[in-house]
Amino acid sequence: MTDWLAQAADEGPALGRALALSGRDHDEHAAVQAFLPGLHGWLRDRLPSARIDREAMIPADVLSSASSLDLFGLTIPERFGGLGLSMSAAGEIIAGVARRDRSVAVCLGLHAGLGLRGLVHLAREDQRERWLPPMAAGEYIGAFAATEAGAGSHIAGVRTTARLAEDGMLVLDGEKIFVTNGGFARVFTILARTPGLGGHRHGWSLLLVTRGDPGFSIGREENKLGIRGSSTTAISFQGVKLPMDRIIGEPSGGIEAFREVLGWGRSLMAFGCVGMARAGLEMSLAHVTNRQQFGRPLIAFGQVRESIARMRLDVISMESLARLAGWHSARGLEFELLASAAKLYNSEAAWRTADRTVQCHGGSGYIEETGAARLLRDARITRIFEGANEVLRFRLGCAFLDQVLREGLTPPPLQSPGLTRHFAGMANAAADIEKACLRLKRELGLRLYREQLASAALGDAAAAWLALWATLARIDGEITTLPAMDQSAWLPLADFATRCLLRDIQDAISHALVADEELLVALGETPGGNPPGSLSGEEQIKTRVKPQSDFTLG
Amino acid sequence: MQTDNPSIEATVHALIAELAGVDAASIRNQDHLMQDLGLDSLQSMELLSRLSETYGVDPDMDEVMAAATVDAVISLIRDILARNMAA
Ligand SMILES: Cc1cc2nc3c(=O)[nH]c(=O)nc-3n(C[C@H](O)[C@H](O)[C@H](O)COP(=O)(O)OP(=O)(O)OC[C@H]3O[C@@H](n4cnc5c(N)ncnc54)[C@H](O)[C@@H]3O)c2cc1C
């Protein structure tokens, strides 16, 4: 049985009860619940969401009032002035912000996740003492810069390099693009090559660079499709001199550290997606219960009802899966695979929910003023950043296959008698996944790691199965803690979750088993791909618009 | 199918260079795939997968997992080719 499944099985009914909480335990859950009314008041009174989108910037007073609410200290330990929240608790708050405004949620989420995780988790004590208190106070906002023009999904391709000079300083040169919070952040965690450091000829390290460092400059704001208020800029380094104590974690431990940091970033992003989906559900529900057509409210029509039901399920399954990653992280267990699954599943579901929201609103959904169009624009980025979903899907599929072949896939038992059928469905799906893994291994062997279709489809099956497990375990926890009269609402949700997610799993398995990459290659070579006069693939690459890189001094 | 040994080394270096984003000329045989070249376990599997396609071989999964350095990868391919020739 996989490590994370084994741990969950050991925990028994406690896992389900934990997934019903917005925090690592009851105390933290209570603290989050006490925090939320103030947050909601701030979101309602102080956050001009439509204006932020229209003017493509977050006003300074929003950032300063966010600091007064401690929103920049969510994940920073209390001894450095933060709230010291677990991933799940911080995620719940990010979700609450995303429900109202995605630009601000991305700003806070990036600061709390990618921007701070290296410092909080990997840095030395003196580095933490130096940097964390002003970051908790919101005086210094954090950013994270890995992506470069030539290194996006393939992050090992970064060219930004820090070399050790004779005076013992590191000298940093290079250029990063698409840096969230770039326009106003003060503390940047960056991934750079550090050849020779730590005894590694090819090394990558996480480095801390600040806005005031000589040779550091910031490009202009990108003009984006969605999350328009969030700041996205390029940054460049020209002979920036850094003392050795600006290395975060081990010298040349950067790729490993990057993955650890990314696990946090992805998990918080998965929580942000929950907030987006919840916003879509609430807007849609309000609209379809009020709007009448054919003499009836829209909700009276089966297809509309189904759409709303799927949104409801998506919100719960997304939240449960993100909490499952948070539960593992809070116990110091391996959670990167769950974080990838949560990022993949939740971003696809956020997009699906935003699309359903526009559809439920009909023509008015297409008009900016209702907010549905903005939700759709905002949701789109989640399938791209912090790892494009195609890359995650393939890698998740390969990693899941390895684990399933090594240790099997046996779901931990559920406690509630009312969930016996659901558990059986989940166990059968697990057995189907095991069989599919064995067959793919037999038929494709190592090809699974270079051809993508089967592995990627398996990644979808994995994400859907994990979502089903998290959802049923959470419902189990809700049922076993609620008085009998309140339990009934959860059982139809368990039925619907099992029906929908089993279908998703079966579709993904079928896709994996019939995947035919050679056919697609052949199709790509048949005539008719490019209409006459259009650019060939090669020409398109040559003429591709380069990301802007005109810099002003930061 | 390629079989000569110097070309095995060159092919392994070229593929690693592509996957790790480093210059082929800078790769040494004693380099560790993960610590020196930044390849994680899945990228190492992809490397072996692409090599097995190039050389038409079918390495055992355990042998593949155990190959942690550039040298070990080259030896693995050489050994399998030698075994296949002998068989
Ligand atoms: C608004 C915004 C904010 C961002 N914030 C940050 C930030 O704060 N810090 C940071 O470092 N980066 C940030 N990014 C960068 C983001 O993480 C990258 O854009 C993302 O990882 C994809 O890289 P790329 O754009 O180079 O796309 P590419 O790598 O060129 O990929 C393009 C597409 O090709 C496909 N693809 C690529 N590789 C594969 C593969 N192996 N298999 C199958 N399909 C593949 C995918 O569909 C992918 O979407 C941000 C980007 C945006 C737009």
**Locus of tokens 């499952």:** A324
Q: How high is the mean pLDDT of chain A? A: 92
Shared domain for A408 and A552, answered yes or no, is yes
What is the rounded distance in angstroms from the CA atom of residue A129 to the CA atom of residue A124?
Answer: 9
Shared domain for A31 and A106, answered yes or no, is yes
In A, minimum Cα distance to B18 occurs at A157
Kindly state the tokens that stand for A46. Answer: 């102080």
For residue B37, what pLDDT is reported? 87
pLDDT above 80: residue B26: yes
Chain A positions in Cβ-Cβ contact with residue B77 (cut-off 8 Å): none
Confidence of residue A12 (pLDDT cuts 50, 70, 90): confident
For residue A23, what pLDDT is reported? 92
Kindly state the tokens that stand for A317. Answer: 């399954």
Picking from A140, A155, A172, the residue at the C-terminal end of a domain is: A140
3-state DSSP call for residue A233?
Answer: strand
For B12, residues 6+ apart whose C-beta sits below 8 A from its C-beta are: B47, B51, B70, B73, B74, B77
Shared domain for A61 and A171, answered yes or no, is no
Shared domain for A123 and A150, answered yes or no, is no
Closest by CA position to A230, among listed A109, A65, A73: A109
Shared domain for A134 and A165, answered yes or no, is no
Whether residue A238 is contained in a domain is answered as yes
- Name the more confident of A517 and A334: A334
* B40, B46, B58 ranked by CB distance to A450: nearest: B46
In B, minimum Cα distance to A392 occurs at B42
User: A151 CB less than 6 Å from ligand 1?
Assistant: no
Picking from A140, A169, A191, the residue at the C-terminal end of a domain is: A140
Q: Which residues pair with A188 in a beta bridge?
A: A143, A209
What's the pLDDT tens digit per position in A124-159?
999 999 999 999 999 999 999 999 999 999 888 899
Chain B positions in Cβ-Cβ contact with residue A398 (cut-off 8 Å): 42, 45
Closest by CA position to A118, among listed A128, A105, A126: A128
What is the rounded distance in angstroms from the CA atom of residue B9 to the CA atom of residue B11?
Answer: 5
Under 8 Å between Cβ of A383 and A227: no
3-state DSSP call for residue A207?
Answer: strand
What's the pLDDT tens digit per position in A479-488?
988 777 677 8
For residue A485, what pLDDT is reported? 67
Query: Quick one: how far is CA A439 from the chain centroid?
Result: 31
- Find the A243 Cα to ligand 1 centroid distance in Å: 31
User: Does B19 contact chain A (CB < 8 Å)?
Assistant: yes
Q: Which of A340, A401, A449, A458 to mutate to test the interface with B (most CBs of B within 10 A)?
A: A449
Return the CATH number at A540: 1.20.140
For residue A186, what pLDDT is reported? 98
Instruction: Kindly state the helix (H) or strand (E) to which residue A4 belongs, with its residue range.
Output: helix A3-11
For residue A437, what pLDDT is reported? 96
Confidence of residue A525 (pLDDT cuts 50, 70, 90): low
What is the rounded distance in angstroms from the CA atom of residue A62 to the CA atom of residue A56?
Answer: 14
Best residue among A385, A452, A520 to mutate for probing ligand 1's pocket (most ligand atoms within 8 Å of CB) is: A385
What's the pLDDT tens digit per position in A234-293?
999 999 999 999 999 999 888 888 888 999 999 999 999 999 999 999 999 999 999 999
For A310, residues 6+ apart whose C-beta sits below 8 A from its C-beta are: A352, A356, A500
For A463, residues 6+ apart whose C-beta sits below 8 A from its C-beta are: A341, A344, A345, A393, A396
What is the rounded distance in angstroms from the CA atom of residue A229 to the CA atom of residue A408?
Answer: 46
* A156, A200, A445 ranked by CB distance to B20: nearest: A156
Shared domain for A411 and A548, answered yes or no, is yes
Picking from A109, A140, A171, the residue at the C-terminal end of a domain is: A140
What's the pLDDT tens digit per position in A283-302?
999 999 999 999 999 999 99
For residue A533, what pLDDT is reported? 56
Shared domain for A97 and A213, answered yes or no, is no
pLDDT above 60: residue B2: no
Confidence of residue B6 (pLDDT cuts 50, 70, 90): low
- Our answer to whether residue A369 is catalytic in this structure is no
Residue type, A385: F
ipTM: 0.84
What's the pLDDT tens digit per position in A195-227?
989 888 888 999 999 999 999 999 999 999 999
Shared domain for A131 and A152, answered yes or no, is no
Chain A positions in Cβ-Cβ contact with residue B59 (cut-off 8 Å): 446
Residue type, A72: F
- Domain locations in chain B? 5-86
**Locus of tokens 């998290």:** A470
Return the CATH number at A50: 1.10.540.10
pLDDT above 60: residue A316: yes
Atom of ligand 1 nearest to the CA of A394: 42
Kindly state the tokens that stand for A377. Answer: 């624009």
In A, minimum Cα distance to B50 occurs at A450
How many separate domains does chain A show? 3
Residue type, A293: Q
- Quote the domain boundaries for residue A407: 392-554
CA contacts within 13 A on the Cβ side of A511: 17
Domain B5-86 fold: 1.10.1200
For chain B, the distance separating the N- and C-terminal CA atoms, rounded to the nearest angstrom, is 17
Under 8 Å between Cβ of A432 and A380: no
Confidence of residue A549 (pLDDT cuts 50, 70, 90): very low
